[in-house]
Amino acid sequence: MVHQELLAIGRKAKLAARKLAFASTESKNKALLAMSEALLKNEQDILKANRLDVQAAEEKGLKKSLVNRLSLTPEGISQISNALQEVVALRDPVGEGEVWTRPNGLRIQQTRVPLGVVAMIYEARPNVTVDAAALCLKSGNAVILRGGSEALESNKVLGRVIAEAAEGSGLPSGCIQLITETNREWVQQLMRMNEYVDVIIPRGGAGLIQTVVQNSTVPVIETGTGMCHAFVDRDADYEKAIPIVINAKTQNPGVCNALETLLVDEAIAEGFLSRMGQELQNRHVEIKGCPKTCALLPYALPAGEKDWVAEHLDLVLSVKVVANLDEALDHIYQYSTKHSETIITENYSKAQRFLREIDAAAVYVNASTRFTDGGRFGFGAEIGISTQKLHARGPMGLRELTTIKYMICGDGQIVK
């Protein structure tokens, strides 16, 4: 039996989605600008609520990287506000398509339409509350948000502020709704509300994602965990390789596009790892290494099987010496979550082979995996990074929040 309050949220979202599907780009942009302004006006209330969440997280002993993801600052709120303005500048995908006429005179138009009601289930990142709402509104979808309990107080204020701003600008009531009930039974019920919810998008750790994938009867767009690899080839330029590895691992270790495993060609392992290891130590990165790595770096800890599958989300890096590109490809094939992989090499043939053979949403040559992001790809904010292959893959922006329908006009044609 679905809780009555949750049913009311679903019904309200369904009604809002029907109206939003026909909202003009101008009206949606007006709402987004109002939301952007409201965030700045309510900065103190947002920060006050966020301090409660951060304090509770620290008292629970959450990892520093997770607390950092939870924390908001005036600069952070300004960035979230600016992200809304960037979404305003993006092209509205609703109504895009093509038209053709069949020999019998039928005029067929393929056009992009909103998905309908999108439910977002996510963990302790308050900015996702705003990013998800913005992208859903711009693409004509109503959104039901269910954030993690760690960010509950922040999300309550953020959800209220942006919902009031959107509805005050003329968008339908219920276009943005936040579930504040932390009872997990509500999530189980939400995942089975097929009558009211068109798609569920989980965003967070492997446990959350698998729970949704395995239990939802509502269609799921799976955002994946990030077991991201970098392979430093024997033909690599050290002056490129070292900054790329440092950036991918340390710039923000608690996110899905951060580097988790470093593979090094044995032909350069001794020289490269001596320099790379020192740079990692300088940045307080713990190294979990294979036997060859531990022999070269006495301060490295032995890596077990669990380290090749671990999304550390912290200043921890698994390191393995491999014989060549073939062994690197084999390792990535076995352990990749198909998120982001990179090769550092000056050898064109190897680079092209890596691009062709790696099965992942984003494959790089001589660049950091940290670029796998909707904003850095030019999509504005992102709803998540899909690692599946149906409908959407990679950073999901506005277009991925729409589907297609066919509109066919005739003049009495019948099938003969």
Decide if pLDDT at 2 tops 90. Answer: no
| pLDDT, average across residues 171-200 | 95
pLDDT score at 276: 97
Q: What is the reported pLDDT for 359?
A: 95
CB 258 within 8 A of CB 252: yes
DSSP 8-state code for residue 158: H
CA distances to 59, 125, 145, 156, 165 from 46, in Å: 20, 13, 17, 9, 15
Task: Classify domain 228-370 by CATH number.
Answer: 3.40.309.10
Q: What is the pLDDT of residues 69-107, one digit of tens each?
A: 899 999 999 999 999 999 999 999 999 999 999 999 999
Domain ranges of the chain: 4-223+384-409, 228-370
- Helices 43-60/74-89 angle, 10° precision: 120
Distances (CA, A) of 376 to 59, 295, 368, 397: 34, 38, 12, 12
Residue 21, pLDDT above cutoff 90: yes
Contact 243, 263 (CB under 8 A): no
Average pLDDT of the chain, as a whole number:
94
Asked whether 313 and 254 are in contact (CB, 8 A), the reply is: yes
Mean pLDDT confidence for 277-285: 96
What crossing angle do the helices spanning 325-335 and 348-357 adopt, rounded to 10°? 20
In the chain, helix, strand, coil percent, each to 5? 45, 20, 35
Backbone φ and ψ for 362, nearest 5 degrees, come out as -135, 125
Res. 313: pLDDT tops 90: no
pLDDT tens by residue, 351-372:
999 999 999 999 999 999 999 9
Q: Which whole-number Å values give the CA distances from 234 to 73, 219, 247, 266, 335, in the listed order?
A: 43, 44, 20, 8, 22
Query: Under CATH, to which class is 4-223+384-409 assigned?
Result: alpha beta
The pTM (predicted TM-score) of the whole model is 0.84
pLDDT at position 265 is 98
